[in-house]
Homo-oligomer: A and B are copies of this chain.
């Protein structure tokens, strides 16, 4: 069942006030894509965008979607780097950013209740007033919403110690495909009544229901942190350092590994001299009341491996970790690149990095690697130089939201302007590149994903499948699992109106 544009727009206009609804072409274009690569994706601006201000608004729109049979693409800040928020043909976009109230902050229970449009950083700022934090910290935390974080089960730097989004979500309010509002989970840390629907919704990329309320567990904002920068001659030794820290039974809050090419990129952007001081950099932060003790153990362990280790209280280490945290994948106009998000068992970090270095050489593409080394989640970025770009367009393929490729703050980032994209173009990035360069880039990407799976890993540690990674999903999942997921989708959304074409095959 599909309705004409006129019918749908008429229904929307009678249901929503003008300030809550737009069909302005620029707005439609802005809601057509997210921060993911556009390869393999046809851009289809939506028919309209609805800015919901209440659960009732969401229910009303969902019921119109059921009545008129249009697809509903739910979106927060649109910071997905996997195309999870791209609109589809004939769809209406539901923008939840106006549902941005912190409904309850209960510091004694270490619990908060928020609307889905609350920005991660805003929740953290509110929690910090009570000495608490919301632990999941994706690189987009200054702009991304809790609803989006829930949809993708977002990770970040602190996951090895504090877990991913799923581990911080206690309960959800969800509007189902027929407009019904349900509540899942408990407001308590423990609760085992019935099936874990909460975890089923977390990470389902909005395909099972629309999250309109999130009860989160907060954690202690540590009064003490210690930051360590350790330079290694050999990548192998740095990765060994990660394992040795584990053997010393220290669980850092943050353990980031940066390879030589990442250090060179940082030097170029920041004027630093990191690459002169080693070939691999480990950035580590400890927290909690034992932070100083743990940092001392880590420094001893890493010095024992021959690393050059920063002294306690090093301001540079603090600066480096902030740089790493805030690094965004935009701003470099001289290359076409795609960042990946695999995870491997952490004992395989070295093997994996060595193998993709070989792969990059084989396919004549450039590679730089950063990793959340504590949990084996890697963000390799593969690129071809802009010298291979066709002169007709400067477009960019960015999926490395979380990779450390900082531009100097004053540099204007090169971003995709959807209004310049022809919706009928199959692949903007491909159209701008000679086929040979694009096929080399794809070969390297495919190979890197295969290698992660061969080493017992996964195709996506924290960015989600979205639309971009669908082509790799059956490399990881069996036909039986794919069929089971499809049947679960059918239970929740039999007409496939909620965020169709992403998350599952």
Query: Which residues of A come within 8 Å of B, CB atoms?
Result: 106-111, 131, 152-153, 155, 159-160, 163-164, 166-167, 176, 180, 182-184, 186-197, 199-200, 202-204, 208, 219-223, 243, 246-247, 249-251, 288-291, 293-294, 297, 343-347, 372, 375-377, 456-465, 469, 473, 476-478, 480-482, 484-485, 487-488, 490-492, 503-504
* A438–B107 CA distance with the chains assembled, in angstroms: 40
CB distance from A196 to the nearest CB of B (A): 5
Nearest B-chain residue to A153, judged by Cβ: B192
Contact assessment for B478 and A183 in the assembled complex, using a CB-CB cutoff below 8 Å: yes
Contacts of A200 in B (CB 8 A): 195-196, 199-200
Closest B residue, CB atoms, query A154: B192
A interface, over-half SS: loop
Given contacts A111-B345, A196-B200, A251-B220, contact A190 B159 (CB under 8 A): yes
B476 close to A108 (CB less than 8 A): no
Contact B196 A477 (CB under 8 A): no
- Between A and B, 5 residue pairs with Cβ closer than 8 Å are A109-B376, A110-B246, A188-B344, A188-B346, A488-B488
Q: Cβ of A503: which chain B residues have Cβ within 8 Å of it?
A: 194-195
Chain B residue contacts of A481, Cβ below 8 A = 182-184, 194, 197
With both chains docked as a complex, state the minimum distance between the C-beta of A164 and any C-beta of chain B, in angstroms: 6
Q: Are B180 and A480 in contact (CB under 8 A)?
A: yes
Is A343 a contact partner of B194 (Cβ separation < 8 A)?
no
| A377: chain B residues within 8 A (beta carbon) | 188-190
**Contact at B478–A190, with CB atoms within 8 Å?**
no
Residue pair B478, A187 in contact (C-beta under 8 Å): no
Contacts of A194 in B (CB 8 A): 465, 473, 476-477, 481-482, 485, 503-504
Of B159, B196, B250, B480, which is within 8 A of A199 by CB? B196
CA distance A428 to B24 in the complex (A): 71
Give the Cβ gap from A39 to chain B, nearest Cβ, in Å: 19
Which B residues are CB-close (under 8 A) to A462?
190, 192
Query: Closest chain B residue to A492 by CB distance?
Result: B484
Q: Which 7 A-B pairs have the closest CB atoms?
A: A290-B290, A199-B199, A189-B375, A108-B347, A289-B290, A190-B461, A191-B458
Q: How far is the CA of A250 from the CA of B159 in the complex (A)?
A: 19
Residues of chain B lying within 8 A (CB to CB) of residue A247: 107-108, 131
Assuming the contacts A199-B166, A249-B221, A481-B182, asked whether A193 and B458 have C-beta atoms less than 8 A apart, the reply is yes
